[in-house]
Structure 1
């Protein structure tokens, strides 16, 4: 009987531990992209528009957490706000490919079971982050792409729109500028540097342009700003102690050949593990893929016992810089600690804590 009592007591303790309430630690962090974001390129009106949009995203995600919702639900709610805004390169504000299309990617991962879902190269799904969640929760797969992903989303009852929904004049003009810049760079390469410059333009051409940005209007600069990575993302810790990370993007202006970046790649642009942290990245995707940035931060915490802040800075401010990668990340750990390092000029970012304390930031200072 004594042995049985001890067994029951042990079971009760385990149940109590699993039922621990993390309400005092709930945290939500968002980003709206990193890149050459400076005050010189930002009108007061546009800065206010960005801050207002980021604030609404924080509020929507935080409301879910305060009402006892899961971290995945909070991430979805926050990202929906940014996907529905033309200010960010995701959903409605997605940039154009070389062919004049809007091709979007998104991913979600939750830290408790480490399940994940992603979609890539979709053109008709209004909110790609919801499609990624459907892949995670309603399929045996992790990633779906193109027409197949769109068919799956439609079968699951997600909102499907005509591709014209994603058209915005500013993004279309940005594509035309990128193409013109591409022609200029190719001509310059052939005449002036023996072909050692940019080859083929495309995403690289868009990234390396910017010499003439001073000749553009403030309105134009908002949507290009030299090197601007407009991916959006969110990470969250809920009252159950579970982490989640989500990322959504339109990719790079003038991208070709069905190019896919880091956002939908689990471990590169998106990652979550209750034992360590949740991470969402924004930047030059190829470098984030090669460096497996999101997972590397988690691995440094798990294997080296590093703090979230130290691990994030080690990867973003040291490893990525050494490899030539530009961008940043947002992250939260199981204790509600946050990190938002970036090695670019700026990053649209913000966080909100359990007590309602919040901050929205754009520039380095």
Structure 2
């Protein structure tokens, strides 16, 4: 009887063996390395991969509508490239002389603030009441110290005021008149509002007023909305990230905000974790784009958290934030993100982003057209 019972199971076992053999012969999906997730490339940007390696400092000059080769004359292209390169060289000089990453990003951003092509400092855009209100922040990766100013109206270099807040006060963010007074008391150069005036920014304000009069929302399209004037098409918030000899990371961001913004509006640039973030061992990041969305999405802190807690590399983390998380919230823009090994990511979901980097060997690279 036992022999007969065993014989009854033989056909079943034979069928199971056949099924297993068939499954084994089928093609299997490729496995992914631990700590990564499949991502869908954003518009025209391809799969997430590093922008460059061996980078010690990178800068951006804003994301928005793109400069296009066919519409950009050689003089304008050179002006943008020279502005980015000057900032990179200013920051690299600090690092080459043994300075800290904090000092390097401050020097790089100051250079961009002094260049009227960029929407920070001298080239800041106008608010709805034809004034200028500037924001900036700095963060040090070694101890997560940070400083920021918002809505300043008389500081020539807001990034330097932000650094002073970090180093000379127990606070992180000072705003308005109090921030202006603090900067002046600490010896920073002060200016009148007409210092920030440029014809290109005034023309952009007039255009924005006309558009809003036709029913379009003020500031539609982000920090570089709807402007057609020369020098306005692709510029916005500026920022820098760096790693020094001690492998300490730092980041800084500065902006004039959005053309025709409401007086008193504050975006992501002076907010730690939104426009700026730096943490040793993960990433230094500076953002540019539609500020409200970058605030809601905690853009730069999320990149760091994906690296630290999600096992992502810097390129995958930055891509996920820019192309997936922020676009799901309805915003576009970009980031520059640098890890302690000098790996740089620079994804953007807008039409274009101005940025550049310098390597440890001194190679200076600037990118002003999409697809470079």
> Does the pair score TM above 0.5?
yes
Question: SS of 2:128's equivalent?
Answer: coil
Q: How does 1:50-199 map to 2 (within 5 A)?
A: 50-184=80-214, 186=215, 198=216
| Other-structure match for 1:21 | none
Given that 2:129 and 2:263 are in contact with CA atoms closer than 8 Å, whether structure 1 keeps it comes out as no
| Distance 1:231-1:206 versus aligned 2 partners, 3 A rule | closer
Q: How does 1:1-365 map to 2 (within 5 A)?
A: 27-39=56-68, 40-184=70-214, 186=215, 198=216, 201-204=217-220, 210=226, 220-223=229-232, 225=233, 228=234, 230-365=236-371
Structure 1 residue 306 displacement after superposition? 0.7
Structure 1 residue 364 displacement after superposition? 2.2
Return the TM-score normalized by structure 2: 0.82
| Distance 1:209-1:306 versus aligned 2 partners, 3 A rule | closer
Following superposition, which runs of at least 4 residues in structure 1 exceed 6 angstroms of deviation? 205-209
- Please give the alpha-carbon distance, in whole angstroms, between the structure 1 residues aligned to 2:85 and 2:223: 28
Question: SS of 1:31's equivalent?
Answer: strand
| Distance 1:262-1:207 versus aligned 2 partners, 3 A rule | closer
Given that 2:127 and 2:263 are in contact with CA atoms closer than 8 Å, whether structure 1 keeps it comes out as no
Given that 2:223 and 2:237 are in contact with CA atoms closer than 8 Å, whether structure 1 keeps it comes out as no
Structure 1 residue 275 displacement after superposition? 2.1
Aligned length: 318
Structure 1 residue 26 displacement after superposition? 6.3
- Please give the alpha-carbon distance, in whole angstroms, between the structure 1 residues aligned to 2:118 and 2:224: 20
Gaps of 5+ in 1: 1-23, 187-197
Higher helix share: 1
Gaps of 5+ in 2: 1-52
Given that 2:64 and 2:224 are in contact with CA atoms closer than 8 Å, whether structure 1 keeps it comes out as no
| Other-structure match for 2:9 | none
| Distance 1:239-1:207 versus aligned 2 partners, 3 A rule | closer
| Distance 1:182-1:41 versus aligned 2 partners, 3 A rule | farther
Given that 2:303 and 2:318 are in contact with CA atoms closer than 8 Å, whether structure 1 keeps it comes out as yes
| Distance 1:235-1:206 versus aligned 2 partners, 3 A rule | closer
| Distance 1:92-1:209 versus aligned 2 partners, 3 A rule | closer
Structure 1 residue 43 displacement after superposition? 2.2
Question: SS of 1:73's equivalent?
Answer: helix
Given that 1:26 and 1:239 are in contact with CA atoms closer than 8 Å, whether structure 2 keeps it comes out as no
Given that 1:181 and 1:209 are in contact with CA atoms closer than 8 Å, whether structure 2 keeps it comes out as no
- Please give the alpha-carbon distance, in whole angstroms, between the structure 1 residues aligned to 2:350 and 2:94: 31
1:47-97 deviation line (CA, Å, top 9, x unaligned): 110001111111110011011000011001111111001000000000000
Name which of structure 1's ranges 146-155 and 32-41 shifts more when overlaid on structure 2: 32-41
